[in-house]
């Protein structure tokens, strides 16, 4: 059992915002595994896949970003999974735009969604797949920036980053060591 959660906001108006990079990447995971988000449970849209004989749950919380931890906690409980079998994909302002960085654990940094996940699960020991969104040329408050739409000229860069994040999540869920995936994707 492995759970992959892509953080974001559920309304269509947020679809192309920086804060929805995790949602987009989770959609890429589902597409690559040939499944669709068919049901709503645990305050999330959920898709189920099988990878190397292991059940994979792919989720997009509907709690809005700042309460993402509620859905993650419910998913872990429902599927009797531990945080060691969890990967969370999300946007990260602390990384340059388009970069993908994987970590086996760590703090929430500046990310309120991750603060919620850590608070609700009671642990920092789960895999994070971070998609960098920082643009040095933009100088607006962080809350306004993360909820703004990706610029048209950067769209392909972010789509590529989401695809990389999805591939990393699939490799980890498939049993590849996080450290090995980090070697391939971080950099």
Catalytic residue positions, numbered: 19
Helix (H, G, I), strand (E, B), or coil: what is residue 160? Answer: helix
* Under 8 Å between Cβ of 120 and 69: yes
Helix (H, G, I), strand (E, B), or coil: what is residue 61? Answer: strand
* Under 8 Å between Cβ of 46 and 57: yes
> What is the CB neighbour count within 10 angstroms for residue 147?
15
* Under 8 Å between Cβ of 7 and 22: yes
Give the containing element (helix H, strand E) for 42: none
E strands, the chain, are: 2-6, 39-41, 44-51, 54-61, 86-96, 100-103, 127-134
């Amino acid at each position: 059992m492995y759970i992959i959660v892509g953080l974001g906001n559920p309304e269509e108006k947020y679809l192309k915002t920086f804060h929805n990079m995790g949602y987009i990447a989770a959609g890429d995971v589902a597409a690559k595994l040939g499944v669709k988000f068919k049901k709503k449970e645990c305050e999330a849209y959920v898709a189920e896949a099988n990878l190397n004989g292991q059940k994979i749950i792919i989720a997009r919380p509907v709690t809005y970003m700042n309460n993402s931890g509620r859905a993650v906690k419910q998913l872990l409980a429902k599927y009797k999974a531990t945080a060691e079998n969890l990967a969370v994909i999300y946007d990260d302002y602390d990384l340059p735009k388009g970069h993908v960085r994987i970590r086996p654990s760590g703090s929430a940094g500046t990310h309120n969604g991750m603060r919620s996940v850590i608070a609700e699960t009671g642990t920092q020991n789960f895999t994070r797949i971070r998609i960098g969104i920082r643009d040095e040329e933009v100088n607006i408050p962080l809350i306004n920036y993360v909820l703004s739409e990706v610029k048209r000229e950067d769209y392909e860069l972010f789509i590529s980053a989401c695809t990389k994040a999805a591939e990393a999540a699939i490799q980890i869920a498939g049993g590849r060591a996080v450290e090995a995936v980090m070697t391939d994707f971080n950099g």
